[in-house]
Amino acid sequence: MQVADPLGAAVAARELAQHDYDAIFRGFLAGTALRETDAGDVLAAFIVLQWMVANDAMMEPSPAALRAIRRQFAVPLATKPPLSLPGPRATFAEEVKLRAVLHHAGWQAAKRAGTLPRFLATLPSDLLAPATLRTLAMTDDGLVPRGARARAAPPAASAPRGAARTTPPEPELPAEPRFPGNWATVEGVYFRAAYGVGVGGMMIMRFEPLILLRDGTTYQVAAAALEDVDLPAERVAKPSRFGRWTQAGDTFTLTDVRGRADTYKLQDGRFFRAFPAGAGETVARSYRNLSGGGNTAMGGDVMIAVSNRYDFRADGTYGRGGSVGATNSGATSGVGSAVSGRRAPEGGRYAFDRHTLTLTAPDGRVRRLFFAFASHGDPPAIDRDMIFVGDDAFTPPH
């Protein structure tokens, strides 16, 4: 729209900026059983929206169609990254929400601007190409080839928009860790460099924590503190988080579940020792993690940025916040849009105990997360300018 209708683009961007993208996305789900807190539900909603945009259809999916589409697309991906990993799963869900809001805004703006054919001709091929989506019918059996259409999805008898939907409560964490013996099986805690995708789809170097177990296996850290992880069950449910390791002096060979091996020398720039916090230690500083996605790095139109922040104080209290933003330049489709939002702030008390960060909310709810300090130099020395909370690395904001 910035090309076809600059005034319309400015109006659309202003309207989107005035609203929390999360609230807009919740409006998409109003009257359905889909939950904005469930990554599989978010993915299913995005695919439905993609189908509606590709076909320029206003047909509302039935509850059966939504369930079928979720089974078709979300369930097969549940055991694979990013949906299989807690941290990346949450980031993925937020990015999909942003893309859905941008997708919908662009569709509606193009219709108003009279540039719909151009917009439809330049749709991105996220998950399913637009040409493929136009060959599919939405039915109670999901998305099926039009020639094999079994039963059409009738208009949904939905609840009034904005009707309350229940969100499953977060599981209650036991007061005491369930598997405190896990730490007795640990040989060491490290972190390694790995390539990932950053803001705009740019390839970036990121760091991920890794625990070496005495039985010769590795465990790629998730969000939870190790003492709350059922390791035998985790091996079965998420085998990709495990691998093998061997050591010869200061050289480590790490082999993933698929048999791919890589060799690292300790503190050589790719593999480092991680340090624990002292029991009762406090810090007085802020840390930020910046992640994102999109495709502007490859010449595309979409840029997504997600920022999360912890503010730790010397008195044992903490605050947490963050923001999310996305833009679609409209250079390809002629329709530009932007959305942004801030996560609800939270706070309470924190406590470090070696590789565990315990967060206690004002209402008494407790979360235990993996924690580590980074290191630098050789021999390794603790580096408090980088911390790991769960599987995410945080550094002081600039």
Structure confidence at residue 76 (pLDDT): 83
Average pLDDT over residues 338-354: 80
**Sign, Cα dihedral of 62, 68, 72, 75:** positive
The CA–CA distances, whole Å, from 86 to 148, 196, 224 equal 37, 16, 9
Higher pLDDT, 140 or 279: 140
Average pLDDT over residues 350-357: 94
Q: What digits encode the pLDDT tens for the residues 206-229?
A: 899 999 999 999 999 988 999 999
How many contiguous H segments (helices) and E segments (strands) does the chain have? 8, 18
Residue 20 DSSP one-character state: B
Residue for token digits 């993933």? 256
Residues 272, 393: Cα–Cα separation, whole Å: 13
Structure confidence at residue 299 (pLDDT): 64
Query: Of the segments 124-133, 155-164, 190-199, 284-293, which one has the largest average pLDDT value?
Result: 284-293
Structure confidence at residue 201 (pLDDT): 59
Whether residue 11 is predicted with pLDDT greater than 60 in this model: the reply is: no
Percent of the chain with pLDDT over 90: 35
Question: What H or E segment, with its residue span, contains residue 82?
Answer: none
Q: Which residues pair with 346 in a beta bridge?
A: 320
First-to-last C-alpha distance (Å) of the chain: 34
The CA–CA distances, whole Å, from 9 to 88, 103, 109 equal 32, 14, 8
Q: What digits encode the pLDDT tens for the residues 152-184?
A: 433 333 333 333 333 333 445 667 888 999 999
Whether residue 18 is predicted with pLDDT greater than 50 in this model: the reply is: no
Structure confidence at residue 29 (pLDDT): 86
Structure confidence at residue 168 (pLDDT): 35
Mean pLDDT of the chain: 79
Higher pLDDT, 241 or 198: 241
Q: What digits encode the pLDDT tens for the residues 304-336?
A: 777 789 999 999 999 998 877 666 666 655 656
Instruction: Write the CB contacts of 189 (distance below 8 Å, at least 6 apart in sequence).
Output: 209, 210, 211, 212, 273, 274, 276, 355, 372
Structure confidence at residue 9 (pLDDT): 43
Residues 208, 87: Cα–Cα separation, whole Å: 11
Average pLDDT over residues 345-372: 92
Q: Which residues pair with 213 in a beta bridge?
A: 186
Average pLDDT over residues 107-130: 67
Q: What digits encode the pLDDT tens for the residues 85-100?
A: 666 677 778 778 877 7
How deeply is 163 buried, as exposed, middle or buried, from its count of CB atoms within 10 A (0-12, 13-18, 19+)?
exposed
